[in-house]
């Protein structure tokens, strides 16, 4: 791989960068106050670059897709910044090798969102037929927002993390939640919160007693359900402190 895994299609490239930014800013392996980008051994300027890139491209996404309302200058801005992103995060001698770091220090979910196979176990997984697709698919969950009394959970397809729509044959992703002061030791502690169809789940904490002195955390995982009612495998868990 000479450059990066950023898609050649411009809209897909923008969605990829948005998904990568959501992931790199999500809670890291050491818990609240840490971030994924630290797990990957990125430095703070590398994290800030991806976020700044997202802030430039995200507002231009709909304009670029319309093809008629975008100006030549805005179109050039989009293309130039995507090219710079490839150079910045690329595998060449002058790049920061951001995806190589994810390959070396990330996990299965990280590799899936970043579309990394080379140098990871994903490159060695055999292909699966459609009859096995439900059993093999795991949604990729990320923390999009964490505000007082509410959170937004991103629910992405492992086959195309930057695409909002569900994978073919899936009815929705079932999102389960557990509220605890410590990490749950099994999925038995979780209850179904709701079904996500459009790539995200808005979560509130109505009726939850938040008056205690200990910090409370919300833990989430997801499972796909197919149009035939078949359930897939549980995704990796994500968590965040409940703000109140």
Give the closest residue to 176 by CA, choosing from 188, 168, 165, 159. Answer: 188
Half-sphere exposure of 113 (CA within 13 A, CB side): 27
Q: Is residue 127 over pLDDT 50?
A: no
CB 115 within 8 A of CB 98: no
Three-class DSSP category at 142:
strand
Write down the pLDDT at residue 89. Answer: 84
Is the confidence at residue 126, as pLDDT, over 50? no
The pLDDT-based confidence of 122 (bands split at 50, 70, 90) is low
> Residue 58 is encoded by which pair of tokens?
């995200």
Alpha helices in the chain (DSSP H): 10-24, 36-39, 44-57, 61-66, 72-89, 98-105, 108-113, 133-136
Cβ(96)–Cβ(46) under 8 Å? yes
Among all chains, which residue has been given the structure tokens 């995704």?
A: 235
The answer on pLDDT for 92 being more than 70 is: no
Task: Return the percentage of the chain with pLDDT > 90, whole number.
Answer: 34
Q: Is residue 172 a contact partner of residue 225, using CB atoms and an 8 Å limit?
A: yes
Q: Which residues pair with 194 in a beta bridge?
A: 175
Evaluate if residue 3 carries a pLDDT over 50.
no
What is the chain's mean pLDDT, rounded? 83
Which candidate, 154, 155, 163, places its Cα nearest to that of 7?
163
Percent of the chain's residues with pLDDT above 70? 87
44-48, 85-89, 140-144, 225-229: least confidently modelled range = 225-229
* Chain center to CA of 27: 11
pLDDT of residue 131 exceeding 90, the answer is no
Question: Tokens at residue 22, please?
Answer: 């959501």
Model confidence at 194, in pLDDT bands (50, 70, 90)?
very high
Query: Residue 157's beta-bridge partner residues?
Result: none
Task: Label residue 169 exposed, middle or buried (CB < 10 Å: 0-12, 13-18, 19+).
Answer: middle
Q: Is the pLDDT of residue 135 over 80?
A: no
Tell me the per-residue pLDDT of 11-70, one tens digit each, with 9 for 90 and over: 889 989 998 998 999 988 888 888 999 999 999 999 999 999 999 999 998 888 887 788
Rounded to whole angstroms, the Cα distance separating 37 from 50 reads 10
Q: What DSSP string describes 167-212?
A: PTTEEEEEEEEEEESS--SSGGG-EEEEEE-SSEEEEE-TT----S
Give me the pLDDT at residue 203, please: 95
Which strands sit side by side in the sheet containing 170-180, from one edge to the other? 191-196, 170-180, 217-226, 238-241
* For residues 115-122, average pLDDT: 70
């Amino acid at each position: 791989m000479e450059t990066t895994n950023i898609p050649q299609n411009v809209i897909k490239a923008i969605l990829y960068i948005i998904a990568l930014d959501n992931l790199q800013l999500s809670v890291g392996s050491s818990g609240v106050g840490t971030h994924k980008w630290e797990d990957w051994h990125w430095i703070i300027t590398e994290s800030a670059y991806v976020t700044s890139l997202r802030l430039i491209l995200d507002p231009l996404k709909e304009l670029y897709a319309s093809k008629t309302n975008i100006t030549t200058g805005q179109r050039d801005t989009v293309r130039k910044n995507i090219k710079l992103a490839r150079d910045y995060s690329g595998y060449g001698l002058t790049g920061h090798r951001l995806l190589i770091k994810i390959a070396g220090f990330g996990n299965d979910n990280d590799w899936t969102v970043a579309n990394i196979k080379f140098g990871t176990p994903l490159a060695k997984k055999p292909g699966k037929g459609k009859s096995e697709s439900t059993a093999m698919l795991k949604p990729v969950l990320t923390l999009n927002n964490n505000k007082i009394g509410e959170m937004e959970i991103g629910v992405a397809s492992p086959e195309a993390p930057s695409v909002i729509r569900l994978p073919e044959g899936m009815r929705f992703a079932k999102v389960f939640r557990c509220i605890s002061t410590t990490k749950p030791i099994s999925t038995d502690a979780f209850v179904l919160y709701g079904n996500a169809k459009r790539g995200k789940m808005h979560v509130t904490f109505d009726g939850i007693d938040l008056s205690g002195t200990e910090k409370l955390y919300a833990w989430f995982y997801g499972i796909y359900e197919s149009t035939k009612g078949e359930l897939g495998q549980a995704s990796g868990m994500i968590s965040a402190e409940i703000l109140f």
